[in-house]
């Protein structure tokens, strides 16, 4: 699955759909970086930068940070050398105005819209609540799930021995709000990619490997089409 031409994949899916994990796996496979909007923002908060201090509250409530904040970080990241052959976006765009800004930006970066595709990982709200409600994280970056991927010792990180915690935006009331925002904002965005024939839909309620295989198959077919087209 290697190509010299630039490919841009935009991953969509509700919180907890595993899109971050899948984006990383595809990144490994086709050797282009996965850029996570949430991760870029969390780094600002953890590093206590001016931006981080300004967005901390919004993020802990599960709200969306202003476009200007995420776009400044993201557009800078997209221009780094390692993204020259393309990149994968995870968590952006999340609303119509971001989508419009991204399309404008990509026109400048790629010169051709043809190599941009959207990957939608479908997961029901019920499943999202189970997945996120049981997620536990560690300051070292490790993540666990109390049922699907528990640490060896309850509440303690296997890797560094620190106490695990619940992400502020994984609390049940916040999860419900995040899902509401997701459905409202994402529908018109997905519609755009569907109408332009660039949408790959994947059933996200399978094993990580099965979802990965599904994405690889569709993405490979696209890359072959691009390379030969």
Active site residue 2: no
Query: Whose Cβ is closer to ligand AMP: residue 164's or residue 179's?
Result: 179
Q: Is 94 a catalytic residue?
A: yes
What stretches of 7-143 show up as alpha helix (H) in DSSP?
19-30, 37-46, 50-60, 67-78, 96-110, 125-133
Q: Which residue's Cβ lies closest to ligand AMP? A: 38
Is residue 123 at the binding interface for ligand AMP, with CB under 6 A as the rule? no
Q: Is 136 a catalytic residue?
A: no
167 is catalytic: yes
What is the gyration radius of the CA atoms in the chain, in angstroms? 18
Distances (CA, A) of 59 to 87, 111, 189, 201: 25, 34, 22, 28
Per-residue binding letters, 92-111, with ligand AMP (x by CB under 6 A): x-x---x-------------
Q: What residue has token string 């666990």?
A: 144
Q: Give residue 77's Cα distance to chain centre.
A: 15
Q: Which of 26, 30, 35, 41 binds ligand AMP (CB under 6 A)?
A: 41
> Measured between alpha carbons, how far is 3 from 185 in angstroms, rounded to an integer?
33
**Residue choice 14, 38, 86, 214 for contact with ligand AMP (CB under 6 A):** 38
| Cβ nearer to ligand AMP, comparing 164 with 222 | 164
Q: Which of 6, 95, 115, 135 is catalytic?
A: 135
Rule CB under 6 A: is residue 18 a binding residue for ligand AMP? no
Strand order in the sheet with 199-203: 34-36, 86-90, 7-12, 116-122, 199-203
Question: Does residue 135 have an active-site annotation?
Answer: yes
Catalytically annotated residue among 29, 39, 77, 167: 167
Would you name the residues annotated as active-site residues? 19, 94, 135, 167, 178
């Amino acid at each position: 699955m290697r190509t010299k031409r630039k490919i841009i994949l935009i991953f969509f899916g509700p919180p907890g759909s595993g899109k971050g994990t899948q984006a990383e796996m595809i990144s490994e496979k086709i050797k282009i970086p996965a850029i996570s909007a949430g991760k870029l923002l969390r780094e600002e908060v953890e590093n206590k930068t001016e931006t981080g201090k300004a967005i901390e509250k919004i993020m802990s409530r599960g709200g969306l940070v202003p476009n200007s904040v995420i776009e400044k970080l993201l557009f800078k990241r997209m221009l780094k050398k390692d993204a020259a052959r393309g990149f994968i976006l995870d968590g952006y765009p999340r609303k119509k105005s971001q989508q419009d800004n991204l399309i404008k930006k990509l026109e400048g970066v790629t010169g051709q819209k043809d190599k941009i595709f959207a990957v939608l990982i479908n997961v029901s709200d019920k499943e999202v609540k189970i997945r996120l409600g049981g997620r536990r994280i560690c300051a070292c970056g490790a993540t666990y799930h109390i049922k699907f991927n528990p640490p060896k010792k309850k509440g303690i990180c296997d890797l560094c021995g620190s106490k695990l915690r619940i992400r502020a935006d994984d609390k049940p009331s916040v999860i419900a709000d995040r899902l509401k925002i997701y459905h409202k904002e994402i529908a018109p965005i997905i519609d755009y990619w569907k109408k332009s024939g660039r949408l790959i839909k994947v059933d996200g309620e399978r094993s990580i490997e099965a979802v990965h295989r599904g994405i690889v198959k569709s993405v490979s077919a696209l890359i072959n089409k691009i390379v030969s087209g």
